[in-house]
Chain A
Amino acid sequence: MSSFNPYTENGGAILAIAGADFSVVAGDTRQSEGYSIQTRYAPKVFRLTDRAVLAVNGFAADGNMFVKKVKQRLEWYRHAHAKDMPLRSIARLIQTMLYSRRFFPYYVYNILGGIEEDGSGAVYSFDPVGSYERETCRAAGPAQSLLQPFLDNQIYFKNQQPVPGTAHPTHLPLQVVLSVVIDSFTSATERHIEVGDGLEIYIILAKGRGLQGLEGVKGVQELSISEDSERIFVIRRELKKD
């Protein structure tokens, strides 16, 4: 007798890149199962605090439940400490929450992006059972194998020789990062059937570091309400729907 399989895979792609004083977290909005598109708009990127954004990919029901539970833990933190949990603490929290389900895992790949207490942009990536590390960029989901090599090349400058006498920059400016993100998703949409429909890009800017060229971007929307703290923006774009 075949036993009940409590998991499925709902497709999509997520990606995050950290800058010196900003962080960008993006995900497409298609949710699928097998060859069926279930919906063209199911967000995979969630704002947790004023300086933390979480992208989840994998089994959508687990993902939504996991985000909900993380948000409730952050709410308890707010009750206890009257402030938002710092990014590195959220990362550790996510690890313990994932590992507590080691033997019935949340089938979810998490990428956490935001601003650390020292004002630097950060990205943390997780596997479904909680292994995590801080990185500069990470892609996850079924299209990971299309996206990550591209990021390795464009962000880490893998297989690129610097002009003699110069070095590759350690961090890229926001506008370059946004171009890389958008190109990543249009490319993944072309070549992966589970990616497409819509794109949501969250941008978290460190405190007092200006808009960094974001003011010129089409369709950018600010989510934060105060200019004298970290600021969060979202850009929504269409992707091909075929």
Chain B
Amino acid sequence: MFRNTYDSDNTVFSPQGRLHQVEYALEAVKQGSAAVGLRSKTHAILLALKRSTGELASYQQKMFRIDDHVGIAIAGLTSDARVLSNFMRQQAMSERMVFNRPMPVNRLVATIADKAQVNTQEYGRRPYGVGFLVVGQDQSGPHLFEFSPSGNSYEYFAMSIGARSQSAKTYLEKHYKSFEDCTLEELIKHGLHALRETLQQDKELNVNNTSVGIIGPTGRHEKPVSPPSKFRIIEGEPVAVYLQSMDQKEPADGAPVPPTAADEDVQMSG
């Protein structure tokens, strides 16, 4: 990245009022492969593009189960994600231990956002290099949140993070109004369409590189789960039926979206 005088220390503002280290951390999120999240009245789902470093390598895990009612998809440094997801699991479990209830999703996201914020302010620390999409269900229904290393968290109808996520976002912005009444199958189809937009030219979605995470009642292609509606990750062969449901890609109208600078991935990123 572009070195300058104000970026060696995250506790110092630049004259423009920016924290460069934090902005670099946001870049780390963009290095990771894309993840898409969207929500209907009944479901909240995640879709993520898994990467592998080569033919001989396995695909990097992109989704983590936090509790029966919460799951996340990550973009950025997998190792940072493991630390944070572990923390989220502890929080969720202690809520069950102390209050015998699933932790409200917004509060769970707020706890990691608070952790991330500390890292943007204290000397000798670095911000997390990972962003999350968090889906969950609590007493107020299904939710989708984004968490980013800056310490921000927002709730969304639909969102995407990671490499070339702007293309997915464009798709989501065009269609999000119809998501509310979608069935699970329709929602996944929209999600896959959005995720497809983030692919490099010669690549396509397949059962190996696509993960789907679901919160909400089971769909037509699923077996019953227990407890009902719990977070589950669908990978491998079971994804095929959803991939087959996808429509042909619309021919790009106008200029194709310029690829983002960072295509090549560093080893640590997922």
A–B touch (CB < 8 A): the answer is yes
Q: Which residues in A have some Cβ–Cβ distance to B below 8 Å?
A: 68, 72, 75-76, 78-79, 224-226
Contact of A225 among B65, B93, B226 (CB under 8 A): B226
CB-CB < 8 A to B220: which residues of A? Answer: none
User: A226: which B residues are within 8 A, CB to CB?
Assistant: 223-224
A202 to chain B, nearest CB (A): 15
Q: How far is the CA of A242 from the CA of B225 in the complex (A)?
A: 40
B contact residues vs A (CB 8 Å cutoff): 65, 89, 93, 97, 223-226
- Give Cα A239 to B159, complex, Å: 56
Within the complex, the shortest CB–CB distance from A31 to chain B, in Å, comes to: 19
A-B pairs, top 7 by smallest CB distance, nearest first, are A225-B224, A225-B226, A72-B93, A79-B89, A226-B223, A75-B93, A68-B97
**Chain B nearest CB, measured from A82 CB (Å):** 8
List 12 extra interface pairs beyond A225-B224, A226-B224, CB under 8 A. Answer: A68-B97, A72-B93, A72-B97, A75-B93, A76-B89, A78-B65, A79-B65, A79-B89, A224-B226, A225-B223, A225-B225, A226-B223
Complex Cα spacing A225 to B226, Å = 7
CB<8 Å pairs between A and B, sample of 15: A68-B97, A72-B93, A72-B97, A75-B93, A76-B89, A78-B65, A79-B65, A79-B89, A224-B226, A225-B223, A225-B224, A225-B225, A225-B226, A226-B223, A226-B224
Task: Determine the chain A residues whose CB is within 8 A of the CB of B223 once the complex forms.
Answer: 225-226
Chain B contacts for A75, CB-based, 8 A? 93
Q: Which residue of B lies closest to A79 (CB)?
A: B89
Contacts of B93 in A (CB 8 A): 72, 75
CA distance A225 to B230 in the complex (A): 13
Name the A residues within 8 Å of B89 (CB-CB).
Answer: 76, 79
Closest residue on chain A to residue B85 by CB atoms = A79
Q: How far is the CA of A224 from the CA of B227 in the complex (A)?
A: 10
Shortest B45–chain A CB gap in Å is 19
In the complex, chain A residues whose CB is within 8 Å of the CB of B226: 224-225
Q: Which residue of B lies closest to A72 (CB)?
A: B93
CB-CB nearest in chain A for B61: A82
Question: How far is B97's CA from A76's CA once the two chains are assembled, in angstroms?
Answer: 14
**Chain A neighbourhood of B224, CB < 8 A:** 225-226
**Residues of chain A with a CB closer than 8 A to B97's CB:** 68, 72
Chain B residues with Cβ below 8 Å from A225 are: 223-226
From A228, which residue of chain B is reached at the shortest CB distance? B223
Task: Give the CA-CA distance A226 to B225 in the complex, in Å.
Answer: 9
- What CA separation (Å) do A79 and B226 show in the bound complex? 16
Chain B residues with Cβ below 8 Å from A224 are 226
Determine how close the nearest CB of chain B comes to the CB of A1; give it in whole angstroms: 33
